[in-house]
Chains A and B, each alone.
Chain A
């Protein structure tokens, strides 16, 4: 073998070894990486965080948002955690977001992974609260707990109490905490405050929590309001036998007095 071809062989061997080693390392790291956007449901991103796949291309894991969070809400995920290593997140049940007016975490972000266009914290959508367990929620059981409703920073908009007849006692109301996605920021104060050992209301990533109507669905009452009247003309009012003297739609049947109202005396 001539010296030139030996040198060439050595060079080519070197290139091959380097290419092989590099490729192996790269693919090894790719394998070690779980698919993006597979965070556990209870791990919430800071306010203004871009959509998960974009967030993972933008966040350099510097922790400046964590340092500027005055309530120690945000933490960096350690290696081997189920959240992408080094990225910021919070768990509502441990420390919820206090929804600072000046949003220091967003201001601290050097890359824009937390979108600087978020200037009103009420526009943040860190997640969406879901009353996930109606079997244990005290208000659903007929009690007046109301704690999630009371602590909500967007009270009466993000969470309202909807009144419903309580069929069990037949004489009380159920006041059901009801979340409205148009106002819920996902701060997690409701989940943190839930008095149960395991919260009945939980904040989840919006994508997980929110349903979606098919595009072609129209709500008749909204269309009617938009149109300024019924789109199909007024409904025909047909007489109903036995209810001729009553207003249309009043189908209550007159029954003889009974129970406490019966007038019966011993």
Chain B
């Protein structure tokens, strides 16, 4: 199989060797997870069966469990407002969860924007688009700092006026107009301007969750890296390709663990690898075949 075909259709070898379902296992699980999160909010308005109320910014599940997005909470703080205890408890629970289990699993397993940018990346690979220029990957941290600074200067949560992530989540859950505009904007940006542009370079929410899960437990390991035949499928499919090299090629580290905070734990590298190089594990698992 030629390298070019592999880049446009990463995972085709894995589908041949492992079967379609095994080669898309984590993709399917993530789509189920993302859809389930939205459905938990929709059973109320659709069937009168209230499981989760509110939206991903802040919610109340089964009238008992408060959850608040810590990035929104911090923006409120920066704007000079101390949110009430319910939001405080909600944010603490969310922070504890993601700090423990992996910050950016929010991006890969919860956030609906991920579906849009995954499809955009898929289309870009298929069409073989190389055009456009992605901003530096650190831009997201500047946007994060800028959003907090802007909140402090203006005294309002200014980023939330334009934050496409919360706008999409809110519009979907509350049936407001705006979903299509946001989807179209992010999709065309990712397809035409910058490969993996939004989630991988700009989104300050992703940056925030990345920082949050810097030391989190769940990690992907390239423990069977000796079997790697350099087919490049994992690099082609990974939303944050720079995170793979240190673990897979021992670039600057001996450990086989992908420890970069940008890794979203999406598991696509596990899916597309027909050599079974990658596995989910915890951050203390140093086992490796080489």
A contacts, CB < 8 Å to B: 14-15, 17-19, 21-23, 25-26, 28-30, 32-33, 36, 53-54, 56-64, 66-68, 76, 78-80, 84-86, 108-112, 116
CB distance from B263 to the nearest CB of A (A): 20
Interchain CA distance A36-B138 in the complex, whole Å: 30
CB neighbors of A among B56-106 (8 A) = 57-60, 66, 68-69, 72-73, 76, 79-81, 83-84, 86-87, 90
Chain A at the B interface: SS class: helix
B143 with A22: CB separation less than 8 A: yes
Interchain CA distance A32-B161 in the complex, whole Å: 8
Interchain CA distance A28-B147 in the complex, whole Å: 11
Interchain CA distance A21-B186 in the complex, whole Å: 16
Q: Is B246 an interface residue (CB 8 A)?
A: no
A76 with B138: CB separation less than 8 A: no
CB nearest to A114 among chain B residues = B84
CB nearest to B59 among chain A residues = A62
CB distance from A85 to the nearest CB of B (A): 6
CB distance from B3 to the nearest CB of A (A): 27
Given A21-B142, A30-B150 in contact, is the A110-B170 Cβ separation under 8 Å? no
- Range for the number of chain B residues in contact with chain A: 35 or more
B66 with A60: CB separation less than 8 A: no
Q: Is B218 an interface residue (CB 8 A)?
A: no
CB distance from B32 to the nearest CB of A (A): 24
Given A17-B136, A18-B136, A112-B84 in contact, is the A64-B54 Cβ separation under 8 Å? yes
Q: Is B166 an interface residue (CB 8 A)?
A: yes
Cβ contact of A14, chosen from B80, B138, B178, cutoff 8 A: B138
Interchain CA distance A260-B43 in the complex, whole Å: 75
User: 14 A–B contact pairs at CB < 8 A?
Assistant: A18-B135, A18-B138, A18-B139, A26-B149, A57-B151, A58-B79, A60-B83, A62-B54, A62-B58, A63-B55, A79-B171, A80-B177, A86-B170, A108-B53
B83 with A110: CB separation less than 8 A: yes
Given A26-B143, A29-B162, A63-B174 in contact, is the A110-B86 Cβ separation under 8 Å? yes
Interchain CA distance A200-B155 in the complex, whole Å: 36
A17 with B76: CB separation less than 8 A: no
Cβ contact of B79, chosen from A22, A33, A57, A68, cutoff 8 A: A57
Given A22-B146, A26-B143, A78-B177 in contact, is the A57-B156 Cβ separation under 8 Å? yes
